[in-house]
């Protein structure tokens, strides 16, 4: 015998048996909850093919520029000759040019540097034989500060550029080649006595080689 939830005839239905009230379905009730006056987020967009192409070009240009700078940096090589107690050595040689040990310069593995002190030093009080003839090569007006000679064993068709750095002073660039001769002379345009190491009195001569 099935039970019936209907009330007896003539009696109202109890509250628990009444159907739920209808839910309002206005358009405002169907919208998602948002903060007041805050616009909804813009839809996400993916980069276009044009943006990808521009980015790839910028990356390629940066890589090419970095590669060129790296090659330019690696092409510069420096050879240094330190002349310790340069005044004592000049005194001992009586004015003869000072000669370096064999140096590696650009493609050449046996290059000698010859440093001539110049007329300014020869006429100064640092030269104990300033009143006597010195065993120095003939000087011109441009060699008053001395000169640097590069002497290479053999000849070569290779041509390159050099900078001469006395202490922290740089001169050049100069064209250097040993095509028809094994000797190249470069007059110094700075008084090397003013560019010695403060504590040691050492004369640092550096030659940088590079190509265009």
Per run of 10 residues, the mean pLDDT along the chain (length 212 residues) is 59 60 53 53 57 57 46 69 93 90 85 92 66 48 83 78 92 86 90 92 93 68
Residue 14 counted as domain residue: no
- CATH number for position 118: 2.60.210
Query: What count of other Cβ atoms lies within 10 Å of the Cβ of residue 111?
Result: 20
Q: Among the residues of 76-173, which ranges form H helices?
A: 86-93, 119-122
Residue 53 counted as domain residue: no
Number of domains the chain is built from:
1
Question: Whole domain around residue 173: which residue ranges?
Answer: 77-210
Residue 143 counted as domain residue: yes
What tokens does 195 get? Answer: 């560019």
- Whether the CA torsion 63, 65, 67, 70 is positive or negative: it is negative
Residue 19 counted as domain residue: no
Residue 183 counted as domain residue: yes
């Amino acid at each position: 015998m099935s039970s019936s939830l209907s009330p007896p005839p003539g009696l109202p239905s109890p509250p628990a048996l009444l159907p739920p009230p209808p839910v309002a379905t206005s358009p405002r009730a169907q919208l998602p909850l948002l903060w007041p006056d805050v616009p909804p987020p813009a839809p996400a967009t993916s980069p276009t093919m044009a943006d990808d192409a521009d980015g790839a070009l910028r990356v390629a240009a940066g890589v090419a520029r970095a590669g060129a700078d790296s090659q330019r940096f690696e092409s510069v090589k420096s050879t240094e000759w330190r002349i310790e107690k340069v005044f004592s050595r000049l005194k001992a040689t009586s004015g003869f040019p000072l000669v370096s040990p064999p140096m590696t310069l650009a493609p050449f593995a046996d290059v000698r540097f010859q440093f001539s002190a110049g007329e300014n030093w020869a006429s100064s009080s640092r030269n104990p034989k300033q009143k006597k003839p010195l065993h120095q090569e003939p000087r011109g007006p441009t060699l008053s500060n001395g000169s640097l000679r590069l002497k290479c064993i053999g000849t070569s068709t290779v041509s390159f550029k050099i900078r001469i750095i006395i202490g922290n002073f740089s001169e050049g660039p100069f064209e250097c080649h040993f095509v028809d001769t094994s000797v190249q002379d470069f007059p110094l345009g700075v008084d090397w006595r003013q560019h010695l190491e403060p504590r040691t009195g050492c004369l640092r001569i550096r030659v940088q080689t590079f190509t265009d």
